[in-house]
Structure 1
Amino acid sequence: MRMMKVLSAAVVLLAACGDAPPGTVAVGKPAPPYVAQVLDGDRTSLADLQGRPVLLNVWATWCGPCQKEIPALEALHREYGPRGLRVVGVSIDQASEQQAIREFMQEHGVSFDVWLDPSGDVTSQFSMVGVPNTFLIGADGTLLWKKVGPVHATDNELRGLIEKSLPAT
């Protein structure tokens, strides 16, 4: 009997980790009003970036797949940043790891913005389980694309959506 209760609880928990319920984070819906901290300590938010498309990547220094995707994110930043895309990495490392985050950024040649979220607010607001997760948010704040797992700079779907989200030249 006890085993049945444990199994029932596990099924409920696993179901909770699936797709987000209606009205939460979904492509075509507004992105959550997310607020974080930049490395210098100031507060920032997605609302501060409204009017520009944002590629929001959630990662951690200890995450192997996160480390492997950094060159792709950097390539997207260098290619599309001058045209208006804002690439933002959100680190969920502990608050005491700021120096390790800075060293990670330097070691991996990260030149895009990095926000800190040691409390993991981003994971609950974006209905995430694990890292990396990446979200493309349009200039109007609408979620255009999301990916669980590492991003690839050659992803044609992502590149097409970035192109469509950029201001006309």
Structure 2
Amino acid sequence: MRFTGLIALGSLVALTLTCGCDRGGIPANADRLAPDFTVSDGENTIHLANYRGKVVLLNLWWSRCPPCIQETPALEQLHHDRPDIAILAVSIDTDPGSYRRFLTRYHVDVDTVRDPDQTVAKLYGTDGWPETYIIDRKGYIRRKVVGDPDWSNPEIRSFLKSL
């Protein structure tokens, strides 16, 4: 029994190390060109193709989502620590007032746009928030991060630096 338990524990550790920082596994569309999109909310527009040549964190979020709220300070800190990384925050908020209050309250200064029709979420197959796709400089999806990771984690920072 003990030997079997150790093997199971070893397998779990290996799986954790293999999955690394993505917490959601490597997405089905990993190593494929990230689907291009343009989203405009009347105030802001994000066109993914404009960020080619940069590492992109495509963050899908909602202002009333507790993990999204928890993730925001660390994501903002990453933005200030690594201005070479493009953080694109796409909100699914239907209420423009809630969206704007969130941006003000949490001092959000990453590129953000409101997408109430969930155009980008549908394109990427996202149905839970937050979810972040890490896209390399050539435009290929490398990881999907589910939930609210600690963006200051050295493993995550190292992975981002490797891109």
The two structures have a TM-score, normalised by structure 1, of 0.74
Code of the residue aligned with 1:44 in structure 2: it is I
State yes or no: 1:40 paired with 2:38.
no
Distance 1:77 1:154 in 2: 11
Q: CA deviation at 1:67?
A: 0.4
Alignment of 1:13-162 (within 5 A): 25-37=28-40, 40-41=43-44, 43-81=45-83, 84-94=84-94, 97-162=95-160
Q: CA deviation at 1:38?
A: 5.2
For the Cα contact (< 8 Å) 1:38–1:114, is it kept in 2?
Answer: no
Task: Name the SS for the 1:111 alignment partner.
Answer: coil
Number of corresponding residues: 138
- Judged with a 3 Å threshold, the aligned counterparts in structure 2 of structure 1 residues 39 and 57 are, in CA distance, closer, same or farther, namely farther
Q: CA RMSD in A?
A: 1.9
Q: CA deviation at 1:39?
A: 5.8
Distance 1:38 1:56 in 2: 17
Task: Name the SS for the 2:73 alignment partner.
Answer: helix
Task: Name the SS for the 1:136 alignment partner.
Answer: strand
Task: Name the SS for the 2:30 alignment partner.
Answer: coil
Q: Deviation per CA, 1:22-81, whole angstroms, max 9, x where unpaired?
A: xx852211111122115615x431111111111111000111110000011001100001
Distance 1:162 1:115 in 2: 23
Task: Name the SS for the 1:160 alignment partner.
Answer: helix
For the Cα contact (< 8 Å) 1:25–1:127, is it kept in 2?
Answer: no
